Structure 1
Amino acid sequence: MSLRTDPRFKAAGKEIGRAVAALAVALLVTFVVVLLTSQDPIKAFGTLLTAPFSSMRTTGLWIDEVAKLTLTGLAFALVFQARQFSMGVQGQVYVGALFATFIALSPLGATLLALPLGILVAMLAGAAYGFIPGYAKARFGANEIVSSLMLNYLAIKVVNYLIRAHLAPTGTGQLMTEKFPAQSIFPALLPNTRFDLGIVIAVLSVAAVWFLLYRTRWGLKLRLVGHNARFAEYAGIPSSLTMISAMTAAGAIGGLLGAVYVHGRAFGRLAIDFDGNLAFEGILVAIVARDRPLVVPIVALFYGYLRQGAQLMAIRSDVPSEVISIVQAIIILLVASSFTIPGKAFWVRLFRFGPARTVEAAGK
């Protein structure tokens, strides 16, 4: 079987085509908005498209966001694979970051155990926080969307309170902790940049989630429950237990992201509202990637580029960074709907593939 006739190759090509078309339409609409709002739209739009590559520093900022978007996208994708709609990743990020901070600010923070122990504790804390809405759904029938959103709110407020009241240096008015010891901060992969272990952790996480989903019995059970929970029950698969385990595993990834935040070179400490709502934007990454782990980093790469470009455009031009919200909304609407490329039949005939090729072959 050739790649052209392989169903998986066709499906992947179709999804990539949909994502690229959605991105092109979103950029076109964004250009129109910039054209109407900016006094120098060509410069502003050029900044959006090229600024992340303008220096090593901006490229490092982009890659740092790609790592974080990949992890939050993986967490949401894992939950969505089980056809659950838990929104609790942001709360898990805050809980994981808090527990990683406890390790970094303790005597262990100045030892070689600081990073591995901080990551481990953050993942365990995130997993425990992810377990709560899963158990509430399975045991009491609680709506996982509502419970996870409320847990987000609780985690953010508790962490912010602890920073203000206990963790920030007294008498300074700072809204962050002291800088972590050097042993509790990721080493730079490139000197004087934000290229650190975060991107390595993100890549390893993608491989781990893919392996768990497609090469283990647990992953098969999770996907079966996601496709048809009733059929899975008839097949002897406990759907409730599988659902809880999926939310717990996603929580561990969320906690890992919290550790990547506070141990990363961009922070090296815990600050109030440190995630800038990026952890919640993993929903967009997961939706565009159609919950496929190997596609998540690709989507994160492009979306992180647009996000960073929009922020730099806001600094270097008269267009506000909120323009990226337009891109987000349009991409979600197009990818999540039955969007198809206008004039698709024409392009099929032009490039002589798909149904047109079949008809031609049948006439020979």
Structure 2
Amino acid sequence: MSLTATAANSNSRWSLFRREALRGLAALVMALLVAFLVVLFTSKEPFEAMFQLLVAPLQKQRTIGLWIDDVAKLTVTGLAFSLVFQARQFSMGVQGQVYMGALAATYVAMSPLGTTWAAIPLCMVAATLAGAVYGFIPGYAKAKLGANEIVSSLMLNYIAIDIVNYLIRAQLSPPGKGLLMTDPFPKTAVFPALIANTRIDLGLIIAILCILGAWFALYRTSWGLKLRLVGHNPKFAEYSGIRSTFIMVSAMTVAGGLGGLLGSMFINGQAFGKLTVLFEGGLAFEGILIAIVARSRPLAVPVVALFYGYLRQGAALMGIRTDVPAEVIGVVQAVIILLVASSFTLPGKKLIARLTRPAGEPPVAGKAQETQP
């Protein structure tokens, strides 16, 4: 590749990044303005409420830990959905994979292996394998039986949640101590904290490794190239000799492995250290929003997760410290998703370009017409 082509490619990437960043920033500002209008009509102290929304997650070490912990988990679930979306599949099964992964990690942690030095890696491996198997099922069902992956994966979510909740109540919860959680795991089966007295633990490093692994798999391996070709043009991929069904099933299986690993991050992390009923609180499903806004790009997923996690924690703290219900964040999230995920452009862009164009310079359309034969 020539230096000119390399420079042009670099400029194109920078232009794309700048355009996406400006569009995302504009969408965020507009969404916060909408949030302020909502708060204005629902709070007696709207400025205090907005202050809590925007500043509260950074006020204490504990709240920063809550934010970073959310970011790590949102990143992994966003990556899981991104892999599936790259193949132009719409599996919604990450939530069920999280539960099955957590269940597998629980059995390891509560076994004699849970008291050994190998507890954490074995919990992670068991969770990843359980999630991968649970991700393989809807992929295989679509490839061999023609089942709709959206319906099958959603139903598998309900099955996984009910199985885990039943096993907690029937087998795993200690007698006489309620039916909502297991005994705490041994310390050897709990992720070590990276910063004392916070939820920032080994899960953050796992999330970073998942980002690098997903990026490498998608853009530096033949499997990733085939996956993106199948996503962009499945017919062309078939004509090229690529087995589309194998690629689709493998993408859903790998995504399932990430979902299962996320289950281990939940229950082996500092936040829990045990398995509880409905432990993930719907966070795993929010990876859909992360993947959509990030356009399924692995390196964009953590950036989106940083902002989304911050708003998520800010809204929760705003709901605790002020008279505004935390549900107001739903308005902010919806506006951000609608503006960033759609073909959003700044209003008045053409007018601004016309006003700032030097005198005597023809418009872009005119230039294009002059160059046509």
Structure 2 length-normalised TM: 0.92
Output the CA distance in 1 between the equivalents of 2:92 and 2:356: 42
**2:299 corresponds to 1:294:** yes
Deviation at 1:174, TM superposition (A): 4.1
* 1:328 maps to amino acid: Q
Output the CA distance in 1 between the equivalents of 2:179 and 2:164: 15
Question: Residue in 1 aligned with 2:259?
Answer: 254
Deviation at 1:305, TM superposition (A): 0.2
Q: Which has the larger radius of gyration?
A: 2
Deviation at 1:345, TM superposition (A): 2.9
Output the CA distance in 1 between the equivalents of 2:94 and 2:222: 25
> Residue 4 of structure 1 contacts residue 10 of structure 1 at CA under 8 Å; is this kept in 2?
no
Deviation at 1:336, TM superposition (A): 2.5
Deviations 1:82-121 (A, max 9, x none): 0000000000000000000100000110111100000001
Deviation at 1:141, TM superposition (A): 0.8
* 2:290 maps to amino acid: V
Deviation at 1:11, TM superposition (A): 1.6
Output the CA distance in 2 between the equivalents of 1:252 and 1:319: 38
Output the CA distance in 1 between the equivalents of 2:220 and 2:251: 15
1:7–1:56 Cα change, 3 Å: same
Deviation at 1:347, TM superposition (A): 4.7
> Residue 104 of structure 1 contacts residue 184 of structure 1 at CA under 8 Å; is this kept in 2?
yes
Deviation at 1:24, TM superposition (A): 1.3
Question: Residue in 2 aligned with 1:103?
Answer: 108
Question: Which of residues 228, 239, 243 is equivalent to 2:244?
Answer: 239
Percent identity, aligned pairs only, is 65
Question: Which of residues 208, 212, 225 is equivalent to 1:203?
Answer: 208
* 1:312 maps to amino acid: L
Q: Which runs of 5+ in 2 are unaligned?
A: 368-373
Q: Which runs of 5+ in 1 are unaligned?
A: none
* 1:122 maps to amino acid: A
Output the CA distance in 2 between the equivalents of 1:357 and 1:300: 42
1:109–1:339 Cα change, 3 Å: same
Question: Residue in 1 aligned with 2:371?
Answer: none
Output the CA distance in 2 between the equivalents of 1:198 and 1:321: 26
Deviation at 1:348, TM superposition (A): 4.6
Deviations 1:202-243 (A, max 9, x none): 011000000000000000000000001010000000000100
Output the CA distance in 1 between the equivalents of 2:82 and 2:325: 30
Question: Which of residues 219, 224, 228 is equivalent to 1:219?
Answer: 224
Q: Specify the SS of the correspondent of 1:256.
A: helix
Deviation at 1:349, TM superposition (A): 6.4
Question: Which of residues 86, 93, 103 is equivalent to 2:91?
Answer: 86
Question: Residue in 1 aligned with 2:341?
Answer: 336
Question: Residue in 2 aligned with 1:159?
Answer: 164
Question: Residue in 2 aligned with 1:123?
Answer: 128
Output the CA distance in 2 between the equivalents of 1:72 and 1:181: 26
> Residue 58 of structure 2 contacts residue 64 of structure 2 at CA under 8 Å; is this kept in 1?
yes
Deviations 1:301-334 (A, max 9, x none): 0000000000000000011111111112112211
Greater alpha carbon shift after TM alignment, 336-345 vs 283-292: 336-345
Deviations 1:262-304 (A, max 9, x none): 1100110110000010000000000000000000000000000
Structure 1 length-normalised TM: 0.95
Deviation at 1:162, TM superposition (A): 0.6
Output the CA distance in 2 between the equivalents of 1:284 and 1:350: 37
Question: Which of residues 257, 263, 269 is equivalent to 1:264?
Answer: 269
Deviations 1:249-270 (A, max 9, x none): 0000000100000110011011
Question: Residue in 2 aligned with 1:180?
Answer: 185
Question: Residue in 2 aligned with 1:142?
Answer: 147
- When the two structures are aligned, how many residues end up with a matched partner? 358
Q: Specify the SS of the correspondent of 1:321.
A: coil
Kindly report the root-mean-square deviation, in angstroms, between the aligned alpha carbons of the 2 structures: 1.9
Q: Specify the SS of the correspondent of 1:202.
A: helix
Q: Specify the SS of the correspondent of 1:212.
A: helix
Output the CA distance in 2 between the equivalents of 1:210 and 1:107: 36
